Each structure stands twice: as structure tokens, then as C-alpha cells.
Amino acid sequence: MLGIALAVSAADDFKRTEDVIYGRKFGTALTMDVIEPAKPNGFGMVFVVSGTWKSNHASIVPKYFNKVLERGYTVFAVVPSSQPRFTIPEIIEDVRLAVKVIQTDAAKWKVDGTKIGLSGFSAGCHLALLAMEKAGSVACFFPPTDFLNWGQTGVNGAGVGPLAAYREIFGPKAGTEELGRAVSPVYHVSEKTPPVLLIHGDKDRTVPLQQSEVFIEKMKQAGAKHKLIVMPGKDHGWATIYDDFTLLADWFDQTLRGIQAVP
């Protein structure tokens, strides 16, 4: 649940630096892969590698980033810590740390540290949204955003109710309003929230479309730049999803680079 399967393939015309350490946790290295395009544009995209809050370095497949690499974006594929060893509140801190380290080392990677894009699928998108205060823009797919109103108003899914099977990864405060608000991106939106694009299928049986809708409505109320693209007939992931990374590139071109399109 809350994940998407990634196949293994090869990619062309890029430089990949594997296992760059951005932190340590209980003696274990936290790493990311840096994938540099042939013609960098000076901007970076952090892709949070997580599905159901499980992280796996083997899921990093550079070819899948071709649509943003072709546009010149340097991709930072960040692998945070993972359940069941760690809880969602603990995993969130890894993503925030990774963004901070990338910004500190921006000159090394030849990117603008003040304008970093964040992305991910499902749980990865959820984590990206919880680190959005550190980003210049966010563009990602079908995230959980409001665990206190899961699918409809008043349904608590913060490790209880419809998501009771995931109680352990919510931590000891699972089911409480305090925890639900802390790990739900919708409660962290303000007028200072960076631009956010969400892409969500209208037939998603894993994360309700309602989760993206309520987040975008909160963005609208706050006066923050926002966009929701609803994919007709699509479930929680689809075969051509990597072609839709063009939508991410377009969004980052607009919100990070200040241009509408690249010739």
C-alpha cells in the first residue's frame, strides 16, 4: 500500500554518483544517488525514494528520470530510513536533513540551493510535502495529506481505522489528533508554502483522490500557488507514469526557472 513498484533498467547520457552520504542514523549511513544530466541547467530535483514508507536503494533507476534529465535538472534520489525500524515522524527528519545537506553542498553539484524542487510517489510525495518549507517548489504524485480525514471528513487514518494495519509505523501516538496533525501536510500549509503541483488518478483505490483535493483547497485558501492534475481512469500508479515526468519538468521550469517552456 502507498507504494509503486519500480522495475530495473539502464539509462543513457548521465553521470551517476552512488551512495553519497548525507547523514548517519544509529551508525547506519543515510545515502542518496546524484544523477547529473549531460546538459545541466543549474537546478536540482530531490526525489524521495519511498513507498509505504519503505526505502530501497535498488529502486533508483536513472532512466525513469529521463524527462527531467533531458530538461537539464540534476536529480538527487534520496533514500531515507525505513519502516518497520523507524516511524513516520523519524523518517520525515531524514528528508529534511537531505535537503539541507544538498543546499549546503549546492556549489559542489552546481545547482541553485535556494531553488530546489521536491518530488516522489505516494509516501515519497507525502514526505516531500512535509519538507516543503525547505524547497523552492514541489511536484509529485498521489500523496496522503490528511490522516485525520481519510477519504472523507472525520475518518481518522493516523494508524487507526482504515490504516490500522500500519499502526506501528505511525509510532506510539498513533490515532491521536496531535500525531495526525503533525504528519499530515495539509496542516502545514500557509501563505509562505512554495508552489505545489499534485498529480492523482481519479480511480486511486489506495490513496483517495480526496487527499490531493483537500490539500489543494488549503493551498487555495492560503493564497499559495497550486495546481492539481487529475488523471482520468488511473489507479495508484500507471504504466506510462514516467512519461508524465514532463509535467514535473514543466512545473519546475515555471516555478524555479521562471519560464513557461523550453524550446
Mean per-residue pLDDT for 235-262? 92
pLDDT at 3: 40
Could you tell me which residue, 1 or 16, shows the higher pLDDT?
A: 16
Is pLDDT above 70 for 240? yes
| pTM exceeds 0.85 | yes
Q: What HEC string does the chain produce?
A: CCCCCCCCCCCCCEEEEEEEEEEEECCEEEEEEEEEECCCCCCEEEEECCECCECCHHHCCHHHHHHHHCCCCEEEEEECCCCCCCCHHHHHHHHHHHHHHHHHCHHHHCCCCCCEEEEEECHHHHHHHHCHHHCCEEEEECCCCCCCCCCCCCCCCCCCHHHHHHHHHHCCCCCCHHHHHHCCHHHHCCCCCCCEEEEEECCCCCCCHHHHHHHHHHHHHHCCCEEEEEECCCECECCCHHHHHHHHHHHHHHHHHCCCCCC
- Give 14-146+184-253's CATH code, choosing from 3.40.50.1820, 3.40.50.2000, 3.40.50.800, 3.40.640.10: 3.40.50.1820
Could you tell me which residue, 148 or 259, shows the higher pLDDT?
A: 148
- In the numeric block, which cell numbers belong to residue 47? 526525489
The percentage of the chain sitting over the pLDDT mark of 90, rounded to a whole number, equals 89
Can you give the residue ranges of every domain in the chain? 14-146+184-253
Are 1 and 206 within 8 A, CB to CB?
Answer: yes
pLDDT at 158: 98
- Tell me how far apart the alpha carbons of residues 150 and 77 are, in angstroms, rounded to a whole number: 29
Mean per-residue pLDDT for 179-203? 98
Question: Could you read off the pLDDT of 193-231 as tens digits, one per residue?
Answer: 999 999 999 999 999 999 999 999 999 999 999 999 999
- In the numeric block, which cell numbers belong to residue 56? 530501497
For residue 21, count CB atoms less than 10 angstroms from its CB and return exposed for 0-12, middle for 13-18, buried for 19 or more.
exposed
pLDDT at 12: 63
